[in-house]
Structure 1
Amino acid sequence: MMKKENVVIKSVEQIALDTVEMVVKNPYISQKAIPGQFLHVSVEGHTLRRPISIADINRENKTITILFKMVGSGTAKLAALNPGMSFDVLGPSGNGFQTEGNESSTILLIGGGIGVPPLYYLGKELAKQNKEIISVLGYQTRANVFSEEMFRRLGKTFIVTNDGSYGEKGFVTDVIQKAGYFDYYYSCGPLPMLKAVTAKLADKPGMISLEERMGCGVGACMACVIPTDSEGGYKKICSDGPVFHTQEVSL
């Protein structure tokens, strides 16, 4: 159940070009959040909240890790906060990845840019279920790469950069065939990437998480809708998603 909660900053660190990792503490969210959910973050001086995916949870320490890119004054102001300071969030928000009852043995995680972070928490939970984890992670350049070693601890990992400055050159769809056998996939990233991934893997079952600007974040304002595949209907990314089965929405 989503609630308005206050979180206290434990650490802030820039881990790649324009990319910040922040660890915050909150007893409620740290016990309730599941992979794929997000925090809707309030930034002082800004009317609209910022949706930021949950990258990891430590239930014992009651902490939540979030990663975000500094792309404007709001996220820059968030990144400038110091340990010990606090801010309010709505969370855990949205519907996350479904993992219970998934009988698949080998899972492929496909992430692009800031779509990579939520896949790490997901991969950790799937590894606890004795799933074999393979990851294909795409970034713009070497300077943008983060979380590589964390994913390598989960299983075989391929890094892809657009310019070839690190890992494989190209896009995640260029490398998927190198992953080998898998029977289910989860993907998160920008819409063009998700369109390419779902087209390439049309014969495979999977789930996708959509990145989208949001207004209210609770399904009231209709600012983040996406067409479904049936009868011209729509789903709300903030409340029905951000995670959907691949056949559930029309990209």
Structure 2
Amino acid sequence: MKKDKMKIVSTRCIAKDTIEMVLENQFISGIAVPGQFLHIQVGKHILRRPISIADCNKELNQITILFKINGVGTDELANYQQGEYLDVLGPLGNGFTTDGESKSTVLLIGGGIGVPPLYYLGKTLKENGINIVTILGFQQKDNVFYEQQFQELGETFIVTDNGSYGHKGFVTDVIDQVGRFDCYYSCGPIPMLKALTAKLKGKKGFISLEERMGCGIGACFACVLPTKDGTSYKKICKDGPVFQAEEVTL
């Protein structure tokens, strides 16, 4: 982890209130792994904004982040322009475990702004010879993003709450159509993760949690969850954001 400046290479709107921003920094891009995040200083706001790493190009020293405009901080971040610099701590957190046998099949399940970290994960797994199937859930058609990018990794199902695009319903409604898979990885809202882990109880899986954070390095105890056995707590920013599906109580 390092505090550093990241140059904005490009920024664009890719769906309703959803921004894709490509950042450049040799050190951060060189060590980032799927599932980690950046803690970004925005203007004069006291708290940094945690943003998941959506992609990493080590040859170009670039990190891609995707975020949704849902408050004053992210609205201000969306107005930064190409050529400007961001004050960043990163990469932070423990990422996804990407070990696996080639020719095995994994299921990626993302909801809303929980979709981005799964893309870098999916690319890494595919490079390791693992078959990828993806289910992506969004509120409605205008919110859908990165469909083509995930289709390039493998079979992809799109689900919208109102049925305006793809399947109507929730991501859990589509799992039965997937067939056999050896492991699952998921990121999204807590209600989605609760329903998902309940449906897939006993199946090997990993979940990544979205959470507001204070320090981002495990010092302030603002983002803790109890473990399943009730004996301790886990810090989402430092012990996570990725956990084994049966490790913490949601």
| Pairwise TM-score range, normalised by the shorter structure | over 0.9
**Within 2, Cα distance between the matches of 1:228 and 1:185?**
20
Q: CA deviation at 1:102?
A: 5.5
Task: Give the secondary structure class of the aligned counterpart of 1:226.
Answer: strand
Q: Residues of 2 paired with 1:213 and 1:231: CA distance?
A: 23
Residues of 2 paired with 1:24 and 1:172: CA distance? 31
Q: What is the number of residues matched between the two proteins?
A: 250
Paired residue type of 2:11: V
Match of 1:51 in 2: 50
Alpha-carbon distance in 2 for matches of 1:159, 1:114: 14
Aligned alpha-carbon RMSD (Å): 1.0
The Cα shift of 1:45 comes to: 1.5
Aligned 8 A contact 1:104 1:184 in 2: no
Q: Which runs of 4+ in 1 moved over 3 A?
A: 101-104
Task: Report what 2:155 is aligned to.
Answer: 156
1:177 CA displacement: 0.7
- Partner AA of 1:189 in structure 2: G
Q: Which amino acid aligns with 1:160?
A: V
How far, CA to CA, are the matches of 2:151 and 2:177 in structure 1? 16
Letter in 1 for 2:218: G
1:146-200 Cα deviation digits (max 9, x unpaired): 0000000000000000000000000000011111110100000000000000000
User: Which 5+ residue runs of structure 2 have no aligned equivalent?
Assistant: none
Aligned AA (2:51): I
Q: Deviations over 1:48-67 (max 9, x none)?
A: 00000000000111000000
Q: Secondary structure at 1:213's aligned position in 2? A: coil
Q: Counterpart of 1:6?
A: 5
Question: In percent, how many aligned pairs have the same letter?
Answer: 63
User: What are the equivalent positions in structure 2 for 1:192-231 lying under 5 Å apart?
Assistant: 192-231=191-230
Matches for 1:162-177 after TM superposition, within 5 Å: 162-177=161-176
Change (3 A) 1:102 1:235: farther
Q: Hey, what does 1:88 align to over in structure 2?
A: 87
Is the 8 Å Cα contact of residues 113 and 189 (structure 1) preserved in structure 2? Answer: yes
CA distances 1:8-63 after superposition (whole Å, capped 9, x unpaired):
00001000001000000000011100000000000011000000000000011100
The aligned amino acid for 2:44 is G
DSSP-derived class of the 1:239 partner: coil
Counterpart residue number, 1:108? 107
SS of equivalent residue, structure 2 residue 142: helix
Does structure 2 conserve the Cα–Cα contact (< 8 Å) formed by 1:111 and 1:137? yes
TM-score, scaled to structure 1: 0.98
Native 8 Å contact 2:107 2:183 kept in 1: yes
- The alpha carbon displacement at 1:87 in A equals 1.2
Give yes or no for contact 2:100–2:130 (8 Å, CA) kept in 1.
Answer: no
For the residue of structure 1 that corresponds to 2:157, the secondary structure is strand
Specify the code of the residue in structure 2 equivalent to 1:71: N
Q: CA deviation at 1:108?
A: 0.1
Gaps of 5+ in 1: none
Counterpart Cα distance in 1 of 2:39 and 2:153: 28
